[in-house]
Amino acid sequence: MSSFDSPLSPGRRRLLLAVAFAVAGVAAFASDLMPAPASLKTAPGRLAVTPGFLVALRGPAEPRLQDALFRLLRTVEDRTGLTFPHTPAGGFALAAGAAPAALVIDCGAAGPAVPVLGEDESYTLEVTETQAVLHAPTTTGGLRGLATLQQLLQADAAGWFLPAVSIDDHPRFPWRGLLIDVCRHWQPMAVIKRNLDGMALVKLNVLHLHLTENQGFRIESRKFPRLHELGSDGHYFTQDEMREIIAYAAARGIRVVPEFDIPGHATAWVVGYPELASAPGPYVIERAWGVFDPVLDPTNPQVYELLDGFLGEMAALFPDPYIHIGGDENNGVQWNANPRIQAYIREHNLKDNAGLHAYFNTRVHAILAKYGKQLIGWDEILHPDLPAGSVIHSWRGPDGIAAATQRGFATVLSNGYYIDLNHPAWEHYLNDPVPAGSPLTVEQQKLVLGGEATMWAEWVTPETIDSRIWPRTAAIAERLWSPREVRDVPDMYRRLAVVSRRLEEAGLQQESYLEPALRRLAGDGASAADRQALRAFVDLLEPVKDYQRGHHQPAANQFTPLTGLVDCARPDSAPARAFAAQVQAWVFAATPAAQDLDLIARQLAAWRQTADVLGQGLTVTAPRLQEAAPLVHALAEASAVGREATQLLASGRTPDAGWLAAQLARLDQAAQARAAVELPVIAPLRLLVAAAAAQSERKTLSADAWRQHLLELAKVPAKP
């Protein structure tokens, strides 16, 4: 999947934001939990967590539950420094018999050892001053409750504790996934495992592994070894490794759904088996990014022989009932150019390429059915001939969901959850699979199984991938787990910062990858002041959005090092968000305070200082930071514009007539993306200069009219 419509139009964004801001400040939950539980009641009091903390495990013996409990206790030990009672054999001591336990875990049926779609994931958690009790009808529910406990642990000057709460929780959608593309850039075992740990923490339950692509075939086939041997550069999961991943996921209540993308996206398939393509070979692994021609030939019986053998092998390897067959973005070039294929379409009354694709899917469906598997594929597989029971994975938009469910197909939503495109968390957060006022019928709504965040891997390596997935995916996890009404953006961001710490604790590196990456970028000659300025600067940057990076780096391919400035910039800059909030609060305030304006001015001065340090230092001396020079200049320029505005605002003096237009033009210039990054802190300055230009009118207008006037003068949507 490579093309993508922005998930929300600017107009819709503004609307949704207005809704979000209307409830701002009214925190729906006092807790930090993410995803927010279906029901949470807080009470005064706390349960102290001390070295004597003992757990009682009731209900049927379930290794998955005990293992998860032990992992949790170990995590808590590492966080708190407490050592809980251990047995000489190495595990944790459990409360035996009627011994008093600080935590009682009581799960009903053990449930299936490998998680399945739609299983009961509910749990209740009662914490009082004397005891915490976790109840769940299934092991999986118990795992979800343990994830809540991990987030619930708090500290203050008096020590560690669980706050008194009463939680009754269950998910809104049964399919809550993260897709990881391990093809375009290989992602080894360690990446997958730490991301599974992160998923478990935020109650995601489907790992969708995109295993085949033009740029790599990443799973061992014992029946057709040329697939992985010639299609992978040696970077693939052995079947033993995949079993290890599946077990690791199952232990955390997570399904693994494999994707084998056919008939398009198939270059790596046909490197070893060129005779299966729709045009003559030979083929080599694709190194560039985009949509490519190679596609399997649906008229070739050998294709079905290979698919029967291969999918049979995979059906035995992957326990999940669903196998994803991709099906997206066949550009038709090879089919159109092949007279034999076009003749086949005519002879079999298949009408067109879409008909041929549907025919192919019907054959693949039959193969999967033979092996007891159900088919899931991207939007493009939707066709009148698509066999019932298939699932549509929607990447192209809400229309896809409507069309699929209208025909009775279950769907999973990824449109709006393309985390590789570097949009801010709030956009994904407010993207509801079944929003309030949805035009879908109740029956259609029931067919919406949930959604998946998609981590396409053109621009990520094992070093940077966590910073593109997390913490934003936790906001998507909340959207898919929590009630529809939980949609307070500021509160989401508050909790996202906390859960980001827990995700790091789980081994993810979205924060910690940065320091060494910046040291490498700055080079050996950098001083501590240089590095401090670089960190402050990079925290203000965001990678360009959507598919712009390819325009900035047109020659980039699979070999290009991803260790540059843009790889250190992270989506959804927190300091930029904070500055925007600061500026908006001031310009829209009923009675703006002088000291708040002063804080804004100080922030601008600090940026100026950062720009000066870098402009005279690393952007000259460090070869890798020379491309940052215009960005550093832009930050200095933006600071200067902002300074003029704050000075005017502080003095009450109205500027000359041309001033506003001139400043907006300077900001336009400064806001241009360069080196594949952009400076989101520049946007809120438009409001500030508008406020300075119009300040004489402020007293004369109502709050609403003033706001409207400013937005028009500044020519910005009211982005947070």
Distances from the Cα of 452 to the Cαs of 198, 206, 480, 544, in angstroms?
Answer: 15, 8, 9, 22
> Which stretch, 155-163, 291-299, 442-450, 647-655, contacts its own copies (CB under 8 A)?
155-163
Q: Which of 559, 590, 591, 699 binds its own copies (CB under 8 A)?
A: 559
**Beta carbon nearer to its own copies, 79 or 643:** 79
Closest approach, Cβ 274 to its own copies, in A, equals 15
Q: How many CB atoms lie within 10 A of CB 366?
A: 13
Which residues are catalytically annotated?
329
**Beta carbon nearer to its own copies, 403 or 498:** 498
**Beta carbon nearer to its own copies, 109 or 562:** 562
Q: Binding of its own copies at residue 120 (CB under 8 A)?
A: no
Contact 193, 252 (CB under 8 A): no
Q: Binding of its own copies at residue 602 (CB under 8 A)?
A: no
Closest approach, Cβ 513 to its own copies, in A, equals 8
Amino acid found at 610: T
Contact 373, 315 (CB under 8 A): yes
Q: Which of 171, 298, 450, 564 binds its own copies (CB under 8 A)?
A: 564
List, in sequence order, the alpha helices (H) in 28-173: 63-80, 139-152
Query: What is the DSSP pairing of strand 123-127 with strand 410-413?
Result: unpaired
**Beta carbon nearer to its own copies, 508 or 670:** 508
Q: Binding of its own copies at residue 294 (CB under 8 A)?
A: no
Tokens representing 656 are 């000359």
Q: Binding of its own copies at residue 624 (CB under 8 A)?
A: yes
Backbone angles phi, psi at 679, to 5 degrees: -110, 90
Query: Going residue by residue from 79 to 118, which x/- string records binding to its own copies, judged by CB under 8 A?
Result: xxxxx--x-xxx----------------------------
Find the binding residues for its own copies in span 313-342 (CB under 8 A). none
Q: Where are the beta strands (DSSP E) in 623-682?
A: 677-678
**Beta carbon nearer to its own copies, 240 or 704:** 240
Measured distance CA(213)–CA(294) in Å, rounded:
11
Most distant pair of Cα atoms in the chain: their distance: 83
Tell the burial category of 595 from Cβ atoms under 10 Å away from its Cβ (0-12, 13-18, 19+): exposed
Q: Which of 15, 284, 343, 529 binds its own copies (CB under 8 A)?
A: 284
In this structure, the chain runs to a length of 720
Q: Which residues are within 8 A (CB) of 366 and not within 5 positions of it... i.e. 6 or more apart?
A: none
Distances from the Cα of 716 to the Cαs of 5, 43, 219, 242, 463, in angstroms?
Answer: 21, 43, 47, 48, 35
Q: Which of 374, 438, 563, 609 binds its own copies (CB under 8 A)?
A: 563
Measured distance CA(109)–CA(58) in Å, rounded:
11
Q: Which of 259, 313, 329, 504 binds its own copies (CB under 8 A)?
A: 504
Contact 282, 342 (CB under 8 A): no
Residue appearing with tokens 């029971």: 389
- Report how many residues bind its own copies under the rule CB under 8 A: 45
Measured distance CA(397)–CA(395) in Å, rounded:
6
Sign of the C-alpha dihedral computed for residues 447, 453, 457 and 463 taken in this order:
negative
> Which stretch, 301-309, 339-347, 503-511, 585-593, contacts its own copies (CB under 8 A)?
503-511
Query: What is the DSSP pairing of strand 391-394 with strand 410-413?
Result: parallel
Q: Which of 160, 273, 470, 607 binds its own copies (CB under 8 A)?
A: 160
Q: Binding of its own copies at residue 25 (CB under 8 A)?
A: no
**Beta carbon nearer to its own copies, 378 or 513:** 513
Residue appearing with tokens 């005064």: 44
Measured distance CA(323)–CA(378) in Å, rounded:
12
Find the binding residues for its own copies in span 514-553 (CB under 8 A). 515-516, 519-520, 523-525
**Beta carbon nearer to its own copies, 292 or 359:** 292
Q: Which of 621, 647, 654, 669 binds its own copies (CB under 8 A)?
A: 621
Residue appearing with tokens 């489907």: 206
Tokens representing 650 are 């502080």
**Beta carbon nearer to its own copies, 52 or 159:** 159
Closest approach, Cβ 61 to its own copies, in A, equals 19
Find the binding residues for its own copies in span 223-242 (CB under 8 A). 233
> Which stretch, 1-9, 358-366, 603-611, 616-624, contacts its own copies (CB under 8 A)?
616-624
> Which stretch, 294-302, 390-398, 510-518, 542-550, contacts its own copies (CB under 8 A)?
510-518
Amino acid found at 480: L
Q: Which of 256, 295, 311, 622 binds its own copies (CB under 8 A)?
A: 622
Residues in contact with its own copies by the rule CB under 8 A: 32, 77-83, 86, 88-90, 155-157, 159-160, 190, 233, 284-285, 287, 498, 501, 504-505, 511-512, 515-516, 519-520, 523-525, 559-561, 563-564, 620-624
